[in-house]
Chain A
Amino acid sequence: MNQTIPFSLNDKPMSLSLDGERKLLWVLRTDLGLTGTKFGCGEGFCAACTVLVDGEAVRSCQFPLKDVAGKTVTTIEGLAQNGKLHPLQEAFARHDALQCGFCTPGMILVAHEFLMKNPKPSEKDVREALEGNLCRCGAHTRIVQAVMDAAGLK
Chain B
Amino acid sequence: MKKDERDEYQRPGTLGRREFLKIAGGGIVVAVSFGGEFSFSQEEARRRGAGYPEDFNAYLLIGADGRVTGYTGKVELGQGAITSLPQMIADELDVPYQAVDMVMGDTDLCPWDMGTFGSLTTRMFGPALRAAAAEARAVLLELAAERLKVPKESLSVKDGVVFDKASPSNKVFYGELASGKRIERHISPKPSVKGVGEWAVMGKPFFHKDAVDKVTGKALFAGDIRLPGMLYAKVLRPPAQGAKIRSLDTSAADRIEGIRIVQDGDLVAALHELPDVAATALDLIKAEYDVPESKLDDETIFDHLLSIAPEARVVAEGGDLKEGESLAANVFEETYLNGYVAHAPMEPHTALADVKGDKATIWASTQAPFRVKDEVAQAVGIPPAGVHVVMPFVGGGFGGKTRNIQASQAARLSKITGKPVQVAWSREDEFFNDSFRPAAIVKIRSGTDGSGKMVFWDYGVYFAGDRSSAQFYSIPHHRTVSRGEWGGGGTGAHPFAVGAWRAPGSNTNVFARECQIDIMAAKEGMDPLEFRMQNLSDERMKRVLAAAADKFGWTLAPLPSRRGMAIVCADYSGTYVATAAQITVDRKTGGIQVNRVVCAQDMGQCINPQGAVIQIEGCITMGLGYTLTEELHFKGGEILDLNFDTYELPRFSWLPKIETVLVPNNSLPPSGGGEPAIINMGAVVANALFDATGARVRRLPLTPKRVKAALAAMEK
Contacts and interface: CB of A to CB of B under 8 A. Distances in A.
A36 interface: yes
B610 interface: yes
Nearest to B1: A33
A35 B224 contact: yes
B643 A43 contact: yes
B655 A100 contact: no
Interface string A18-58: 00001100100111011111111111011010000000000
A140 B621 contact: yes
Interface in B267-289: 274-276
Interface in B201-257: 207-208, 210-221, 223-224, 226, 232
A67 B649 CA distance: 31
A26 B617 contact: no
B274 A139 contact: no
Contacts of B396: 99-100, 102, 136-137
B223 A39 contact: yes
B223 A140 contact: no
A104 interface: yes
B79 interface: yes
Interface stretch (B339-347, B405-413, B554-562, B566-574): B339-347
A136 to B, nearest CB: 5
Contacts of A14: none
Contacts of B210: 101
A93 B211 CA distance: 5
A96 B208 CA distance: 6
B131 to A, nearest CB: 28
Contact of B212 (A34, A79, A85, A142): A85
B141 interface: no
Contact of A85 (B215, B618, B622, B651): B215
Interface in A128-142: 128, 130-131, 133-142
A34 B78 CA distance: 22
A89 B652 contact: no
A71 interface: no
B427 A100 contact: no
A135 to B, nearest CB: 7
Interface in B625-651: 643-645, 649-651
Contacts of A116: none
A99 B618 contact: yes
A93 B212 contact: yes
Contacts of B1: 33-35, 77
B307 interface: no
B80 interface: yes
A30 B275 contact: yes
Contacts of A134: 346, 644, 649, 651
Nearest to B621: A138
Contact of B650 (A31, A90, A98, A140): A140
Interface centre among B346, B347, B424, B619, by most chain A C-beta atoms within 10 angstroms, is B346
A130 B394 CA distance: 23
B346 A144 contact: no
Contacts of B610: 96
Contact of A92 (B211, B226, B649, B650): B211
B77 A100 contact: yes
Interface residues of A, number: 59
Interface in B385-419: 393-396, 398
Given A137-B396, A138-B621, A36 B274 contact: no
Contact of B214 (A45, A77, A98): A98
Nearest to B397: A100
B3 to A, nearest CB: 9
Nearest to A106: B346
A94 B205 CA distance: 12
Contacts of A92: 211, 215
A30 B226 CA distance: 9
A77 B217 contact: yes
Interface string A84-128: 010011101110101111111100100000000000000000111
Interface in A62-87: 75-77, 79-80, 85
Nearest to A101: B214
Contact of B220 (A35, A46, A89, A142): A35
A46 B208 contact: no
Contacts of A144: 652, 655
A142 B214 CA distance: 15
A104 B211 CA distance: 10
B619 A138 contact: yes
B328 to A, nearest CB: 41
A42 B427 contact: yes
B545 interface: no
Interface in B70-92: 77-80
Contacts of B667: none
Nearest to B210: A101
B426 interface: yes
B709 interface: no
- Which residue of B216, B348, B649, B651 has the most chain A CB atoms within 10 A of its CB atom? B216
Nearest to A22: B276
Interface string B348-373: 10000000000000000000000000
Contact of A40 (B78, B220, B398, B427): B427
A131 B651 contact: yes
Contacts of B15: none
Contact of B346 (A75, A79, A102): A102
Nearest to A139: B618
Given A35-B223, A138-B650, A100 B346 contact: yes
A35 B395 CA distance: 14
Nearest to A100: B78
B395 A100 contact: yes
A75 B213 CA distance: 14
B78, B80, B232, B621: most-surrounded residue (chain A CB, <10 A): B78
Contacts of B337: none
B614 interface: yes
Contact of A26 (B77, B226, B276): B276
A41 B77 CA distance: 19
A139 B649 CA distance: 13
B215 A38 contact: no
B653 interface: yes
B684 interface: no
A69 to B, nearest CB: 19
A101 B344 CA distance: 15
Contact of A104 (B214, B224, B344, B650): B214
Given A77-B217, A100-B345, A43 B427 contact: yes
A135 B79 CA distance: 14
A93 B215 contact: yes
Given A45-B645, A99-B79, A138 B346 contact: no
Given A93-B214, A99-B618, 4 more contacts: A41-B643, A93-B215, A138-B650, A144-B652
6 contacts: A34-B217, A36-B217, A36-B218, A102-B78, A138-B619, A144-B652
Interface of B: 1, 6, 77-80, 207-208, 210-221, 223-224, 226, 232, 274-276, 344-348, 393-396, 398, 424, 426-428, 610, 614, 617-622, 643-645, 649-653, 655, 658
The 5 closest A-B pairs by CB, nearest first: A36-B217, A100-B78, A138-B621, A102-B395, A101-B214
